[in-house]
């Protein structure tokens, strides 16, 4: 009978403990990071009345006869389920989504404690602490490398109040852009300005230099670029092929004949050699009927016959009459008919009995042909080749000056051919104080080139021809008139970015690209000019604030190579000189940087790693637990990173109050690392993890505990009544 009393008492005690546990859960329903517990009941040892027996013979086995002696609370289980994450307005609040604990220390890192409560703040000393004043542990930014090393030992997280960051000089500029390789571009600029400066000996007209180089407005010698890859005024590619070009002449071709014979039966038998080398024979005979033909009549007959073929030969005949009524024929070719031959190449045949014409030639028009291998050398009085704007400018000026008007060995060296700042050829005939009357009227004619010197056909490059035909004009000697071509442009693109010196001063670095060459096998080449505003310098050659280079692409548009790979920048303002700035344009044979496709030239990304000094103005925490500082200079970088610990057995941790756990023998050692790695949860900033206590479950559990407690009390009162009955038997 007493056993039932003892069982009831043990039940009361067990349910009292369960009541204590559940009351604690309810008490912490709003405790940040709290994990609720439950009491685990187990029965006590039972009194054995008889043991179990095995079956024997015809008798079956018997079960043991045991009477239980009550219950006890054998263990407590802490439930580490995820609590709900609630947003807050405090940027230093952090919540863990997943497994793991924040690491805190009350003694500067000598001992560690662990918590799920992430309501941290900065104290007056810049320590990152919880509500107990324990300092959160993690990793700090290395001032040398500028990075947070999460493989180093953890330490107190401390960010000094009033933190400032010194200026960092730019070490690298990264550019990702496309340079248009197509036949039509919308980003172009004029060819470089080319000066007129051929030194010649007036007595011999011998050129003292092979050609002039292109010079910009700073008189710095630069390459003027391959005309083959240039573009017209509308951005259409010239796409020059070897052999293409124009006819150009600065004056008419003329031949003067002698007196034309009078009488009947006088004949003209001449042959013109055309541009393609083929002959064109023209014959005529004066009438044999009376009256006899005069010299003038015969001359008019012959001139009419010649002029009937002008559309083919380009030659026009004019009859001249002297005071004695003797006539002669003058032949003129103004070289202005693109469909006809140029120059005059005349052969008088044996059948000619009185035209007065004599075999001869006057060559003033020459072929100017593109040659991608041309060296730029040219000779007056011959067909010429060119590759660059400088080559063509030099060739035109050489021929313009190759005329001795008075046959006295003096040449008109005042005629100038330039390329102006708009990329246009400019021709002037100013007669600038010549010592003798050697000037002449420039009658400039540019026409299409359709055959080479051997008569082989050449496909006309209409865009190039149209561009130069605008020069066609008459410029009298000593006039102020000017002849301009259309502009010749190069595909261009530019990008700029501000870089910083060691003092944090800002300077604009500009990168300009200009297409200069094309190889159908290997790809394209672009000139590159890197510049900074004066007085800063990046080169030792004047102008020192510019540095020239090039960038080349493969025929699939990928980057082949570029130069220079870096510049040595000196701001000349008291900052550290010779600051090395790497130019990162991508990987060779890859598409991760500069490319050259048939697409609009554009910059898709440009960055640099320098910055000026700044003060800390705010801190935010990202999902990896990194405390990112924002500074007044617009820069943001990690100042520290919160460490997290993971245990093999979270339930083995012991609580110390204040939302703090400590390691025990059964929890295992902490596995320390960063958030969101190796099974550790990620960190959510401006949020707190709420208690995982389910109030509805807890209140229901109270009812269950209450009923259990009442039932155990009932066993005691019932046992007491039985004892009262037993005592009453004696009475």
Q: What is the pLDDT of residues 472-488, one digit of tens each?
A: 999 998 888 999 999 99
Distance CA 467, CA 235 (A): 12
Distance from the Cα of residue 24 to its chain's centroid: 62
Low-confidence residues of the chain: pLDDT under 70: 1, 192-224, 405-412, 432-438, 731
Query: Residues 334, 445: contact at Cβ < 8 Å?
Result: yes
Distance CA 370, CA 365 (A): 16
Helix locations, 597-684, DSSP H: none
Fold for the domain defined by 253-362: Immunoglobulin-like (2.60.40)
Query: Residues 708, 16: contact at Cβ < 8 Å?
Result: no
Q: Could you tell me which of 266, 346, 256, 269 has the C-alpha nearest to residue 298?
A: 266
524's tokens = 């394209």
Where do you find CATH 2.60.98.20 in the chain? 172-185+489-608
Where do you find CATH 2.60.40 in the chain? 253-362
376's tokens = 């730029």
**According to the model, what pLDDT value does residue 693 have?**
95
> Across the beta sheet with 579-584, what order do the strands follow?
566-569, 579-584, 172-178, 602-608
Left (φ > 0), alpha (ψ -120 to 50) or beta: where does 466 sit? alpha
SS3 state of residue 39: strand
Query: Residues 690, 172: contact at Cβ < 8 Å?
Result: no
Left (φ > 0), alpha (ψ -120 to 50) or beta: where does 389 sit? alpha
**According to the model, what pLDDT value does residue 720 have?**
81
**According to the model, what pLDDT value does residue 195 have?**
58
Distance from the Cα of residue 575 to its chain's centroid: 29
Distance CA 384, CA 393 (A): 11
Distance CA 436, CA 602 (A): 56
Distance CA 422, CA 393 (A): 15
24's tokens = 């604690």
599's tokens = 């697409």
Distance CA 95, CA 659 (A): 14
Residue with tokens 């070897």: 242
Distance CA 133, CA 659 (A): 12
Homologous superfamily assigned to 172-185+489-608: Flagellar hook protein FlgE (2.60.98.20)
Instruction: Look at strands 135-140 and 155-156 and give their pairing.
Output: antiparallel
**According to the model, what pLDDT value does residue 436 have?**
54
Query: Residues 399, 411: contact at Cβ < 8 Å?
Result: no
Residue with tokens 């407590």: 76
Distance CA 385, CA 379 (A): 10
Residue 507 has phi, psi (to 5 degrees) of -140, 145
629's tokens = 């500082």
List strand residue ranges (DSSP E) for 236-382, in order.
245-249, 253-259, 267-273, 279-285, 316-321, 327-333, 344-348, 360-362, 365-370
Is the sign of the CA dihedral 243, 247, 250, 251 positive or negative?
positive
Query: Residues 224, 191: contact at Cβ < 8 Å?
Result: yes
Distance CA 729, CA 702 (A): 41
**According to the model, what pLDDT value does residue 411 have?**
67
pTM for the model = 0.70
């Amino acid at each position: 009978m007493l056993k039932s009393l003892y069982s009831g008492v043990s039940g009361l005690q067990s349910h009292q403990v369960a009541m204590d546990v559940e009351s604690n859960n309810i008490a912490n329903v709003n405790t940040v990071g709290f994990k609720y517990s439950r009491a685990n009941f187990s029965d006590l040892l039972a009194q054995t009345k008889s043991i179990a027996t095995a079956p024997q013979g015809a008798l079956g086995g018997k079960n043991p006869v045991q009477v239980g002696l009550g219950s006890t609370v054998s263990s407590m289980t802490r439930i580490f389920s995820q609590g709900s994450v609630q947003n807050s307005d405090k940027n230093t609040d952090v919540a863990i989504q997943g497994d793991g604990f924040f690491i805190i220390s009350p003694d500067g890192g000598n001992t560690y404690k662990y918590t799920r409560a992430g309501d941290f703040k900065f104290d007056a000393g810049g320590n990152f602490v919880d509500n107990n004043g324990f300092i959160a542990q993690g990793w700090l930014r290395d001032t040398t490398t500028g990075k947070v090393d999460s493989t180093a030992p953890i330490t107190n997280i401390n960010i000094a109040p009033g933190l400032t960051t010194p200026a960092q000089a730019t070490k690298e500029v990264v550019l990702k852009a496309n340079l248009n390789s197509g036949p039509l571009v919308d980003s172009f600029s004029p060819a470089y300005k080319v000066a007129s400066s051929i030194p010649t000996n007036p007595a011999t007209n011998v050129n003292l230099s092979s050609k002039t180089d292109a010079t910009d407005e700073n008189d710095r010698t630069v390459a003027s670029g391959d005309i083959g890859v240039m573009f017209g005024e509308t951005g259409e590619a010239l796409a020059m092929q070897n052999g293409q070009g124009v006819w150009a002449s600065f004056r008419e071709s003329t031949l003067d004949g002698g007196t034309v014979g009078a009488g009947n039966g006088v004949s003209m038998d001449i042959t013109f050699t055309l541009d393609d080398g083929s002959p064109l024979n023209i014959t005529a005979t004066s009438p044999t009927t009376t009256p006899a033909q005069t010299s003038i009549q015969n001359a008019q007959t012959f001139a009419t016959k010649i002029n009937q073929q002008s559309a083919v030969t380009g030659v026009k005949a004019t009859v001249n009459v002297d005071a004695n009524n003797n006539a002669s024929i003058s032949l003129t070719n103004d070289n202005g008919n693109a469909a006809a031959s140029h120059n005059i190449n005349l052969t008088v045949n044996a059948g000619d009995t009185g035209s007065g014409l004599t075999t001869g030639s006057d060559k003033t028009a020459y072929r100017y042909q593109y040659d991608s291998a041309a060296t730029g050398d040219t000779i007056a009085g011959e067909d010429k080749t060119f590759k660059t704007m400088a080559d063509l400018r030099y060739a035109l000026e050489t021929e313009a000056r190759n005329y001795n008007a008075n046959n006295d060995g003096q040449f008109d060296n005042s005629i100038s051919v330039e390329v102006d700042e708009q990329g246009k050829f400019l021709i002037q005939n100013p007669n600038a104080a010549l010592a003798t009357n050697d000037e002449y009227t420039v009658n400039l004619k540019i026409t299409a080139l359709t055959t080479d010197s051997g008569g082989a056909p050449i496909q006309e490059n209409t865009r190039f021809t149209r561009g130069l035909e605008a020069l066609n004009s008459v410029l009298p000697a000593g006039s102020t008139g000017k002849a301009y071509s259309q502009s010749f442009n190069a595909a261009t693109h530019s990008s700029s970015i501000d870089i910083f010196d060691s003092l944090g001063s800002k300077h604009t670095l500009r990168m300009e690209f200009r297409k200069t060459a094309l190889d159908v096998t290997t790809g394209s080449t672009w000139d590159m000019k890197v510049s900074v505003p004066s007085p800063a310098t990046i080169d030792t050659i004047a102008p020192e604030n510019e540095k020239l280079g090039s960038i080349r692409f493969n025929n699939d548009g990928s980057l082949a190579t570029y130069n220079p790979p870096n510049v040595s920048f000196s701001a000349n303002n008291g900052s550290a000189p010779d600051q090395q700035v790497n130019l990162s344009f991508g990987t060779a044979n890859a598409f991760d940087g500069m490319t050259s496709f048939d697409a609009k030239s554009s910059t898709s990304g440009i960055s640099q790693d320098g910055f000026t000094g700044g003060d800390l103005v705010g801190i935010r925490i990202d999902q990896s637990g990194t405390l990112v500082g924002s500074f007044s200079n617009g820069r943001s970088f990690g100042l520290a990173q919160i460490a997290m610990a993971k245990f093999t057995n979270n339930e083995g941790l012991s609580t110390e109050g204040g939302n703090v756990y400590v390691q025990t023998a059964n929890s295992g050692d902490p596995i320390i690392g960063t958030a969101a790695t190796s099974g550790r949860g990620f960190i959510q900033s401006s949020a707190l993890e709420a208690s995982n206590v389910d109030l509805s479950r807890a209140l229901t559990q109270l009812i269950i505990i209450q009923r259990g407690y009442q039932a155990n009390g009932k066993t005691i009162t019932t046992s007491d009544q039985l004892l009262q009955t037993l005592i009453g038997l004696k009475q």
